[in-house]
Amino acid sequence: MLLFVLGILIFLVGLALSIALHELGHLSFAKLFGVKVTQYMIGFGKTVFSLRRGETEYGVKLLPLGGYISMIGMFPPKHEGERARNASTGFYNSMVQDARDASADTVAPGEDGRTFYRLAPWKRIIVMFAGPFMNLVIAFVLFAVILMGIGIQTRDVGSVSPCVPSGATATTCSSDAPPSPAKLAGFRPGDLFVSIDGRPTPTWDDATAVFQRSAGRTLSVVVDNEGVKRSLTVTPVAAERAVVDQNGKPVVKNGLTQTRTVGTVGIISGAITVRQPVTAVIPAFGNSVAQVAGVVIDLPQRMVGVWNAAFGSGPRQADGPVGIIGVGRVAGDVASDAQYPVVAKVQTMLSLLASLNIALFVFNMIPLLPLDGGHIVGAVWEWIKRAWAKALGRREPRPVDMARLMPVTFAVIVVLGAMSLLLAYADIVKPITLG
């Protein structure tokens, strides 16, 4: 139980640091461009600790489930040069004007030039993109640590059989059995396959597939053992082997084990952790971003699956969306599982944090307020309007009034809140676990 709690605490600390660096990205460029930032907060709810440095209050709140910075003048007034005033009746107008009022209240006399909405559109884009970009950088660094510093587990030549058993279920050879092709070729424990007949075979399964279909054919094999490459020549021999299912178990039909004749060389696999080159980081990182983006794009459909699993008897999809409770639970399971070696625990925890940061990046780039992507879209639209007006020789247009989108913002907040509650419930009653 202690290790389980420790795993959750490690994850929460990693989450809090990811959020802190996200907000630091916003803060750094906002201050660089002269915007007055009144608050930098990690978490929501009641303030646990805060201090003031200059014009900014820095603090930590009770629930480390997000963060924010408060910049003055997020929205422009309805008319240039005026203070906020009462809106006309109506739900839409009231929401819009309330947003303008709240924004105007943050601007003290003489500070209009330090408001967020006064920034050039390209500066606003940088301020809002800097937060998600920090999550992208964190994820990339974590991937580099995992692949280059720790490595990934793969299968190598664990041992070389002195001979090739003749039967499908035989495990030993007679004393007069000829040496195995692998022994004759000079294979050694720890060999990793590089290529066969000039074609790359980076995995054990790749090499096995080639050997199985090449009985009686001489193959040129390149292997790597601790950085030293060797060229070998091997001729697989035909042998009867049991047919196995996707779980590696022999297929039995009518009480008889099903067999087939395949090529074999007489090697047994072993597990090894191999550090990857820097060139492997970018493809792995890109694949992960694409996978998370796919989950976000299909989020409405996937949330239906979460609902059916949470309130029905259907299974929870392992590649579906998961909430903070679910990820924390997985972190606790990994930390407390005695079957995981320490290196594997560290690697898994780093992978969880890397995936979390990618999710924060992709999610925040959705072009809807109050997410960062919504502010970026507004700035891009204003940039286009200004460029169009300049091309036509017209007067520069006013800043885009993002306050008009407050009803949409309210709807997005309601939907996100409902999704968070559903994921939290599903994570409790039907959690996702790692195999």
Catalytic residues: 23
* Residue 185 CA, distance from chain mean position: 43
DSSP 8-state code for residue 72: S
DSSP 184-231: HHT--TT-EEEEETTEE--SHHHHHHHHHT-TT--EEEEEEETTEEEE
Q: What end-to-end distance do the CA atoms of the chain give, in Å?
A: 20
Q: Decide: 314 and 308 in contact? Cβ < 8 Å.
A: yes
**Residue 428 contacts by C-beta under 8 Å, 6 or more apart in sequence?**
325
CA distance 237 to 288: 40
Cβ-based neighbours of 407, under 8 Å, separated by 6 or more: 91, 92, 95, 96
Whether the link from the prior residue into 370 is cis, omega within 30° of 0, is: yes
> Helix or strand or coil: residue 159?
strand
Q: 202 vs 68, 268, 285, CA distance in Å? A: 45, 16, 19
Would you state the structure tokens that stand for residue 390, as one six-digit string? Answer: 């300049």
Q: What is the CA radius of gyration of the chain?
A: 30
**Separation CA 244–CA 417 (nearest Å):** 47
Q: DSSP for 346-415, please give it.
A: HHHHHHHHHHHHHHHHHHHTSSSTTSHHHHHHHHHHHHHHHHHHHHTTPPPPPPP-GGGGHHHHHHHHHH
